[in-house]
Structure 1
Amino acid sequence: MAIEIKAPQFPESVADGSIATWHKQPGEPVSRDELLVDIETDKVVLEVVAPADGTLTSLVKNEGDTVLSLEVIAQFEAGAVDQAAPAEAAPQAPAAESAEQSPSEDAPMSPAARRLAEEANLTAAAIQGTGKGGRITKEDVVKAASTAAPAQSAPGMIPAESSAAAAPVAAGARTEKRVPMTRLRKRIAERLLEATNETAMLTTFNEVNMKPIMDLRKRYKDQFEKTHNGTRLGFMSFFVKAATEALKRQPEVNASIDGDDIVYHGYQDIGVAVSSNRGLVVPVLRDTGRMSLAGIESTIRDFGERAQAGQLGIDEMQGGTFTISNGGVFGSLMSTPILNLPQAAILGMHKIQERPMAVNGKVEILPMMYLALSYDHRLIDGKEAVTFLVAIKDMLEDPARILLEL
């Protein structure tokens, strides 16, 4: 029975997508629910699986082609297929060639998982598959990569890249590599240019003494983790809570511009910028005023893990009234974050660094962090921006203010 393979139904915010990778080629036998193709949009990667056992007969759309929602991308013939026959008829490959097989040939693996495995220099034999029928998922690759990382960095061990024989490069020769920009990276570039060109963006700075938060965390982190089923107490939950309270006090910072109107949001949905293998994504914490510290920490951790595995949904990255970006995890001491439109402001966190500070006429060494608030000056005046940032500083330096809403 002939079946048309169609692209998924795209959400309203996604106009089209492009064929990223065909996992199966015409004539290859396919099992039910086996991955056929990855379709990349400007937000997420969507996977299309086989509707039944059968054979992929022809491709309507090739890799790199643009596809619309529910557009036909391939033809499929349903029916039981003997998958053992092609394997028996195939000539035996030399041992050297079989050793060089890609991870996708060693075990069932999706293209997204295969790309992650190749980037981490992992073979399928080194990855324990937990999917259906032993299929290797993205989470399996991420877990295997994190386990293999310490071993690869052991003293005296030769990195995989250096162990591979490379062709000699002539002295003075310069090489270049050209790769197409992904749809997500293109969309990020468009949004950044839009924010730069269409807003009156300004940044104000302050610094916060992180010692009170660090002392509180040190005192309760073990009990917190035990009470909340392994959820670790980090710094982000304090910043999210402080920002939520500050947004309530300065509604202009929580607002957005829509044409000639100002939209004041009566809720606080805070986006948290997360770096992934495909680029920067901003999943959103909904109604942070109602979330506990443990809820914030566990949700952010879940966002981070699923961002690396490419499993964040489009609905999880839509909306948001304010954004927090933590460049400090990469060592940034100070930066000016760019607005995440249509939001009117974004908070930038940075590296915690010990510095000599004057306290009551005496010099003390304190763990300090620079904070940066970029805002749209068309909507937010300097007074509101500075007041907002000072409110966050005061709550972080005296965490009891967060609980007491002072």
Structure 2
Amino acid sequence: MRILIVDDEPLQRDMLSGFLKKQGYTVHEAANGTEALSQFMRQPIDLVLLDHRMPDMNGDEVLARIKAQSPLARVIMITAYGAVDTAVRVMRLGADDFLEKPIDLEALLAKIRVIEEQLFIADDVARVEETIDTEALPVRMIAASPAMRQVLSLVMRAAPSPWTVLIQGETGTGKELIARLIHLLSPRKEGPFIPLNCAAVPEGLFESELFGHEKGAFTGAANRRRGVVEQAHGGTLLLDEVGELPLAVQAKLLRTLQEKTFSRVGGEQLLPVDVRILAATNRDLKQMVAAGGFREDLYFRLNVIALDIPPLRRRKEEIPELIRFFLHKYQSPAVFDDQALAQLSKYPFPGNIRELEHVLQRTVTLARSTNIGLRDLPPEIRDYRGATSEGDLNDRLAEVERQMLIEALERHNWVQTHAAESLGISERVLRYKMERLGIEKKR
């Protein structure tokens, strides 16, 4: 990470420069605003540590010029102690964060690492989107929320590896789409991608469906049949709703994962197989292990890399973009007005993205005009007025917590230090909760 320190005090620059170099960062220095802008233009800079008070121009002006040149530039403003008004102003101008003098080096390092992780995630997401576009992959991803950007970052890093991936999330969140993306970004992309919905397989046919059978293996087995494990040889096998696997089949699947061999039902020969296993579930496999419904050793085999897909109610900022995507997909000329969009964004969508897609299909089909308003929405969405006493307790508590955090941040102009104080928590805890709940300041 390349950091530019801008401060007119040589001692301050030396202290910050020495500290950051020991942390492994590449550091550049500027003694004033003019020199800072010149360096920013000449070389790539990831983060600017910008003193607010300088002799030639103040930090506000330097920040404004940096943002005009590169709106995505990351800046931490260094202000005088107690200069709350200044801190609020620089955050509004586009600074990512601020620190008061004298600088707490550990606090500075924590802020830098948060920004560094955000830059890594942004780079991973950009690479995913570029690959999708340049290779014309048959998938499209909407990742406007921090939570989904984190998922795409994990996908980008997990895809090239040979390890099993456990994809967890509620029904309708897009688990199979994520699995297809992992396959298409992996070295196995030229091989087959075989999905198996374990919930749709009758219990007595599980073993045959997975591993195939020999002719005469059981009544009705008139011919040899390849199972999905064999069909996916050289590619990827997705076991969707993997929690539905019977215990007896789990043991055989575990052996296949460990030894990379299998045998067909009714067969005696062990056959080698080269397949990457992805598993998806909307159930809590840990609880199933504790209750004896899922093998612990298989759980650990599947859970080498875990991906948790957030429900749509925790990434509501993606709803307008998802609506545009589905309207384009179905070549619909419909346009949703602001009231309709606002009401759709309030609704919790228990069926997630799949439910949103079906709602749009119904609304566009039944509307008498291409201009979709509040009255055109289905009654359950049009009349929705917020959370009721029903629903999952954890989800309701998370939503209450989310609203409290947003209200505190807005009340303090998104200055995290003061919002955290008003809530009686530390700034670090506030940042953690914001990331977990997908809260991000709108720019």
If the TM-score is normalised by the length of the shorter chain, which range does it land in?
Answer: under 0.3
Instruction: Give me the TM-score of the superposition, normalised by structure 1.
Output: 0.21
Relative contact order (C-alpha < 8 Å, sep 6+): which is higher?
A: 1
Q: Which has the higher strand share?
A: 1
Greater per-residue helix proportion: 2
